[in-house]
Chain A
């Protein structure tokens, strides 16, 4: 909200000299954050009030041009100026910028020759003086404007405007009245309530005005109508009012509209003016009936919702309460008899209506934050009195008041509650004084305060609200700093530690972490080649996505990584290894709607479950992509190309993650999308419940690579980190191995197997065979040191060469013992995989 300082000073007596910067700091310090201080009008110099003495119409130009003789009063005060506007006459008083004058925006006026005449200054419009409005018209001043006087001072153009960021709880501060009151409390200086100012003596006069009633007291509990007749719609808005409206960020429309806006800004009470002649029958405040429509001021015909609060007459809805008036009853340039409405509507009701129709307005902003329910009688009286006075009409003294009872809420709290919240000692006297200053009625009784907040503070409902009033006016700087308490925390969970560990492991392996786009396009799922029943097709949809083309939440991290890869490639980085740890979301079958639980008590177990049941699956995944060279190019390659990343690097990345988890897992070949069916490793965890697939790694399917326009042979891996975290959390602490101090015995074996036999199975068989033999010769390590295919082994076969390391716990092994253990290992490999010992 824009707040001119001059307006505030009308109601707060601040000590001189007034320092705008200090006022801003003070207001910010009590919770009215000043986001900007605009020192307006101070640049205006040498603009004075002049009278038009004569007008010479120049001809022969594209538009009418006047050469005017003007005087600023006194001898030798006549000048001749060129003017392109025609809305003034001889005898009018106008603002005149003299040669050497400066106008808003630093625009300087000099003596100039235009249209063949010497122009000795410029007659100004409101726009040229920084008040906006119609540029084509000269600002014609009242006849009593003093000739020769400094115009900026006369019109009050020099001011300081504060931009106040009013938080949603402080509806009262959406008015000069509210800000002035806060300022007076902060400075401890007197405050004059504008709600008491300018009231006509007939304010309480009896007698009905235009008939009205409230049909739905949950929609409205105060509704006041007053009438004024015979106003002259062409009367201008008085200069000071106009300047204030503009400084507060509003546009001048017409006297009647300006008055209602002015009072809304000053008091915080939105007002609405109806053209009396357009009303038919008594007014009723009610919710809309099904099927009712209303054409609002913005010429939009709106279907009303049965929850909408509307003002109706016998013709039906004529206004959307507190939001926007109807077109049919709008006041026009011909309206002379007005009915002024001032009401107190349901805050949530107005919030819903304005939201439903996307009609945020100055009025709705105030109603939804809460308006002083004692204002309608006063604000309407002042409006009618001002319209009568300034518009030359007659105020009808009576008023219509439809009202539902309002019970002022009271809050009971311990007198030391603010002390206990702040950790500071204010004392009961200070607490009572501050609350009283805010406008509360406070009754103290044996350490307990019964507090009745004022009608303008509907936000004060709880003891903590009252504590905040005390604390903020006493100053947040009074709050001390206590040493943190000693708390028994258990550190990170196993899952949290694992997550850092795998991140560091992948970074150590040369992968760079990215935060991928969490949103996705349905087409991405097609590009991945996912089958219809694939889990990753069960994407959660946003009702209001940022981009309509990306309405889904991601179900896999891969497309986001592809995007990051493409972006890096576009910036000249072709060799990439990226990874991400992030959540995805997948709908579950038959998900119920999440209920809105009560908030006046904690939910029971069943209610918590009902919320959990409504949420989609949200596993945490870890994924990586590789493209280009795995190792950077360097001089050591002696002209050879650097080694490209391939599926084995992707598989190794997955192994890096799994090894960091400490889990024992199996690897086998897999065939799911989006991987190359012959170059995809599947990682499997075997536990009591059977086998769980943890994820996949390998080269991407050529079609996927093409669909995402990636470099050939791009590789990727994706694992379910939630599953890994859960399984790893069940592992106990690492148990130390028994270290034998006896000599090692190594045996190399070369095994011939079918070309399609996975090496992992051969190795597993060797390990199992050695273990099953129960020999003292324990197989300490198996290392595959050669894989050979070719002539020497024949077609369809391959040779796998292993080094087996045997050792005994208690002695040096004999050759016979080692040989027997080796034979047992090989025999099991032969049995399970058809391996044949080569060279035997």
Chain B
């Protein structure tokens, strides 16, 4: 030990004695450990770390020690302070963790409670399906052409090679438009198909020409489960040099693959439309049973009525007479056209069984389709 110092004050220096420092430290650590909440911890902090804490007071006495004793006492006090600070931090962390745990438990809510405070809307499947089909053809480079619903007879019939007194005109029962003054014919009709848009496209667009035209059509059919005086078609038209029926089949096959699935075969069978020659009806392999329902003993298929094939529309090579009526040289250009009913496609693709569902505006029907068919 070092030699005694003359200014030595035995009372004041007692606080720096190792035993005393250990006792203060132990007391502090016990108080901190005993702090049950943030308030008590705060009290413990004030009592054992603040300006009036015993350890703080003790450290102020270091100067009173003889110089040779100061270093050791300083180390002892520092270690004690560090231990107290660490204990405070640890306890703070413990308390915070405990509080967080408790809060998260307290705040548990029923997350299955409905919160549908805003009504859900929907777009009509006829609209969205027409868009969807259009998208397939837009992907092939087609553009969307549109035309009026009240149409001149010439566009709806004559230019499409429906001769005036040919029974072909009877194939489509037309709504005729009266003159505003009620006298005589107006030369207007509610378009019976979207094909007049083909004529308008050929008259206004440059060649080559690739368009699809979705739209509303009208025929004088009484409303029942499968007929409606108002319905929708989508038609495609291509006019280019050297187009053949193989090109037509290519376009249709691409459409079928996009809308119904890859690998479905398509089938053309002869049919008659005045504006195409040759003409065909188009069927595709049933996308549900893929023909399996035609096997003996197989379960029946509702979609194709176990025929294996589903008729999806009509098509053909644009009748050169139509090209001529549209001012296009049929020796240089040929074209193909195809058309299908949107409601019919809804029936095939989406299981709609009653066409009236598409017209009544029942919100339950439309809601099921959301915003995209």
Contacts and interface: CB of A to CB of B under 8 A. Distances in A.
Interface of A: 28-31, 33, 167-170, 347-349, 351-352, 355, 365, 368-369, 420-424, 462-465, 467-468, 471-472, 476-477, 479-493, 496, 500, 503-504, 506-519, 540-546, 553, 561, 563-565, 567-568, 571, 573, 575-578, 581-583, 585, 587, 591, 593-603, 608, 611, 614-616, 618, 630-632, 634-636
Given A596-B164, A602-B325, 11 more contacts: A352-B165, A422-B245, A481-B266, A484-B141, A506-B121, A508-B371, A515-B124, A594-B187, A594-B188, A598-B325, A602-B324
A464 B243 CA distance: 14
Interface in B114-164: 114-124, 126-127, 131, 134, 138, 140-144, 148-155, 158-159, 161, 163-164
B168 to A, nearest CB: 4
Given A485-B240, A504-B123, A510-B120, A567 B143 contact: no
B180 A587 contact: yes
Given A515-B358, A564-B361, A491 B143 contact: yes
A602 B239 CA distance: 15
Contacts of A467: 277-278
Nearest to A468: B278
Interface in B320-373: 320-321, 324-328, 334, 358-363, 366-367, 371
B89 interface: no
Nearest to A595: B187
B303 interface: no
Contact of B152 (A462, A487, A594): A594
Contact of B269 (A476, A488, A635): A476
Interface of B: 113-124, 126-127, 131, 134, 138, 140-144, 148-155, 158-159, 161, 163-168, 170-171, 175-180, 182, 184-188, 190, 203, 208, 210, 216, 218, 220, 222-223, 229-230, 240, 242, 244-247, 249-251, 253-254, 266-272, 277-280, 317, 319-321, 324-328, 334, 358-363, 366-367, 371
A33 B122 CA distance: 41
Given A482-B244, A509-B121, A511-B121, A573 B114 contact: no
Given A479-B268, A482-B249, A618-B150, A487 B165 contact: no
Contacts of A618: 148-150
Given A31-B272, A424-B246, A546-B222, A602 B152 contact: no
B246 A423 contact: yes
A567 B245 contact: no
B62 to A, nearest CB: 51
Contacts of B218: 518
Contacts of A544: 175-176, 220
A575 B138 CA distance: 38
Nearest to A471: B278
B210 A635 contact: no
B250 A484 contact: yes
A439 B131 CA distance: 47
B326 A510 contact: no
Given A481-B249, A594-B153, A567 B327 contact: no
Contacts of B249: 479-482
B124 A513 contact: yes
B127 A513 contact: yes
A599 B165 CA distance: 15
10 contacts: A423-B247, A464-B277, A472-B270, A515-B126, A542-B175, A542-B190, A568-B361, A573-B363, A583-B149, A596-B158
B154 A597 contact: yes
Given A423-B246, A493-B144, A33 B121 contact: no
Most A CB contacts (10 A, CB to CB) among B126, B245, B321, B361 go to B361
A587 B342 CA distance: 29
B267 A593 contact: no
B124 A599 contact: no
Contact of A422 (B210, B244, B327): B244
Given A168-B168, A368-B165, A515-B358, A599 B141 contact: no
B159 to A, nearest CB: 6
Most B CB contacts (10 A, CB to CB) among A480, A482, A496, A578 go to A482
A485 B250 CA distance: 9
B153 A596 contact: yes
A312 B337 CA distance: 47
A573 B240 CA distance: 52
Nearest to B317: A421
B175 A545 contact: yes
Contacts of A167: 271-272
Contacts, number: 310
Nearest to A610: B152
A616 B150 contact: yes
Most A CB contacts (10 A, CB to CB) among B163, B223, B250, B358 go to B250
B167 A351 contact: yes
Contact of B142 (A482, A487, A564): A487
B246 to A, nearest CB: 3
A459 B269 CA distance: 19
Nearest to A636: B117
Contacts of B185: 593
B135 to A, nearest CB: 9
Contacts of A512: 121-122, 361, 363, 366-367
B272 A169 contact: yes
Given A488-B141, A542-B175, A591-B180, A471 B124 contact: no
A504 B124 CA distance: 10
A674 B176 CA distance: 30
A543 to B, nearest CB: 4
A352 to B, nearest CB: 5
B246 A464 contact: no
B163 to A, nearest CB: 7
A551 B341 CA distance: 25
A178 to B, nearest CB: 15
A464 B278 contact: yes
B362 A571 contact: yes
Contacts of B269: 28-29, 31, 33, 476
A675 B18 CA distance: 94
A599 B143 contact: no
B246 A422 contact: yes
Given A30-B270, A512-B366, A368 B250 contact: no
Contacts of B116: 632, 634
B317 A634 contact: no
A204 B360 CA distance: 66
Contact of B371 (A365, A464, A507, A632): A507
Contacts of A517: 230, 359
A518 B230 contact: yes
Nearest to A169: B272
Nearest to A508: B121
A573 B371 CA distance: 21
A573 B269 CA distance: 46
Given A29-B269, A167-B272, A635 B328 contact: no
B140 A487 contact: yes
Contacts of A462: 277, 319-321
Contact of B166 (A28, A31, A33, A168): A168
Contacts of B165: 347-349, 351-352, 355, 368
A30 B116 CA distance: 58
A486 B149 CA distance: 31
Most A CB contacts (10 A, CB to CB) among B163, B184, B245 go to B245
Given A168-B166, A464-B319, A571-B362, A484 B371 contact: no
A567 B280 CA distance: 40
B107 to A, nearest CB: 18
B208 A543 contact: no
Given A28-B269, A540-B150, A583-B216, A608 B203 contact: yes
Nearest to A473: B270
Given A503-B123, A608-B203, A615 B246 contact: no
A567 B334 CA distance: 49
Contact of B119 (A422, A510, A616): A510
